[in-house]
Chain A
């Protein structure tokens, strides 16, 4: 059990279904605050409050340089089986995960 299953299939499918227009995911402001709280506190328990890493790797813009946003979003939604990274799809929609990736890539810690 807990073996790493290949993610490539899912990611390819996701890549193909997605145009370049994901940069501005639309998420209501109150929800943004909740998501930012989740990102800081709950993701923070493994990735650090300041995203500089812990049991999980750093999620700072520098650390994520060159990693496709869609791939990151899929990791957040489905986790990485066989590792400690869990799937968060029951906590957020695809659009909300896109927004979270945007916050990570821009290094933003403030909710509007």
Chain B
């Protein structure tokens, strides 16, 4: 045996020992990721004893980054602003693979069968589809608006049952459904004139309805994915009642459909209100005045509470709505720039990222008191692995 091969053998043995030392078998059901937007790193966290397990660096520009999980909840796919798509191993706590697939990206989704990753891009506008295991390009869907060649920015990309991805064209005001039964040749169904400037979209937890929020006019665009041929219809039309909208200093989001007792809760745009929609007939049933322009409106998994955070200058505030009385029951001031909120899988805790305080705060949702805080470098999005089992993400 040559000396260098002996060294190699030693090194690989040491490697095996090292790997097995940190790879004590464990599940991933209580894991999650906290985005550190400026540092280009993510933290792997654990929600049972609320600790940070590791930091993984080298993910590029993570402003507006989001995450979806493989169905075994082992891998996180992190979508970065710079077009980066990074596959992170939650157990080995390292980057498995990273590609830069566009100049400017915004988010993505994983297919129903877990085999495809779709990324929505701003520049060049469109959707790219990759294999989930190796991140190889499968299909490219440029989003030219209507007949014109101008590319549109893509928002609100979700997966839907029957191997579909659904997304909205911000500039063109369209909703497209991509049928992925033949992955290399997506079949597109396009709906035009759905409304001005759709800013985000989401799907109901049963995967039936796709809803796009509109920035350019008061209302939402609704598509029944069980009967797409019936077309897109407008709901909550003119909820602003002709009043001049207030300025919006940060775009609201429609992360995961917030519902409770048959009612859905959505942010109003340009009004300091949360709108409530009866999901049987898609009409507005009530609206609740809140502290500012809502950004995220999210329901505790059992639907008992709805938590709301806000655009600047009210981004130091979080409000909790009781879904029985439809009243704001608590106004919290966690600190400057609360960017995101995520419930633990069954909702006993909610984690808040407080960017300017370099902290992630964990609240007990029953007492509404802070339980603990974790240090993080300018944290933004928080994503727990429970998302792996949800339609739409």
Which B residues touch A88, using CB under 8 A?
249
Known: A49-B61, A54-B104. A84 touches B248 (CB 8 A): yes
Whether a CB of chain A sits under 8 angstroms from the CB of B123 is yes
Q: Which residues of B contact A54 (CB under 8 A)?
A: 63-64, 81, 104, 106, 122
Mask, A65-105, CB within 8 Å of B = 1, is 00000000000000100101011101100000000000000
> When the two chains form their complex, are residues A84 and B197 in contact, meaning their CB atoms are under 8 A apart?
yes
Distance, CA A37 to CA B199, complexed state (A): 25
| Residue from the list A37, A86, A90, A91 in contact with B248, Cβ < 8 A | A86
B129-137, B239-247, B275-283, B317-325 - the one binding chain A: B239-247
> Which residues on A sit within 8 Å (CB–CB) of B15?
none
* Cβ-based interface call for B82 (8 A): yes
Contact between A41 and B244 (Cβ–Cβ < 8 Å)? no
Q: Are A55 and B170 in contact (CB under 8 A)?
A: yes
Binary per-residue interface labels of chain A (38-55) against chain B in the complex, 1 for a CB within 8 Å, 0 otherwise: 000110111011101111
B194-221 contact mask (Cβ, 8 Å, vs A): 1 or 0: 0011010000000000000001111000
Given contacts A48-B63, A48-B104, contact A55 B153 (CB under 8 A): yes
A24 at the interface (CB under 8 A from B): no
B150 in the interface (beta carbon within 8 A): no
CB <8 Å contact, A2 and B216: yes
Q: List 16 A-B contacts (CB under 8 A).
A: A1-B218, A1-B244, A37-B356, A41-B337, A41-B356, A42-B250, A45-B63, A48-B81, A52-B103, A53-B122, A54-B63, A54-B106, A55-B122, A84-B215, A87-B247, A91-B312
Q: Do residues B104 and A53 form an inter-chain contact, with CB atoms below 8 A?
A: yes
B81 touches A84 (CB 8 A): no
Residues of A within 8 A of B215 (CB): 84
B216 CB to nearest chain A CB (Å): 6
Question: In the docked arrangement, what's the CA distance between A44 and B153, Å?
Answer: 17
Specify which chain B residues have a CB less than 8 angstroms from the CB of A49 in the assembled complex: 37-38, 61, 63, 81
B291 within 8 A of A: no
Size of B's binding interface in residues, CB under 8 A: 35
Interface of A is mostly: loop
**How big is the A interface, by class?**
20 to 34
Residues of B within 8 A of A46 (CB): 250-251
**Chain A, Cβ-Cβ closest to B64:** A54
* Residues 235-272 of B contacting A (Cβ, < 8 Å): 240, 242, 244-245, 247-251
**Least CB separation from B312: chain A residue:** A42
Q: Is B81 a contact of A45 with CB atoms below 8 Å?
A: no
CB nearest to A52 among chain B residues: B104
Give the contacting residue for B217; candidates A2, A37, A84; CB below 8 A.
A2
Give A88's nearest chain B residue, CB to CB: B249
Among B82, B123, B244, B251, point to the contact of A84 (Cβ < 8 A): B251
Cα A82 to Cα B196 with chains together (Å): 10
**Inside 8 A of B240's CB, which chain A residues have their CB?**
1
* CB of B393, distance to nearest CB on chain A (Å): 21
A37 to B312, CA, bound (A): 13
Assembly CA distance A48 to B122 (angstroms)? 12
Could you say which of A42, A48, A79, A87 contacts B61, with CB atoms under 8 Å apart? A48
Bound-complex Cα distance A55 to B216 (A): 14
**A84 nearest in chain B by CB position:** B215
**Chain A residue with minimal CB distance to B243?**
A1
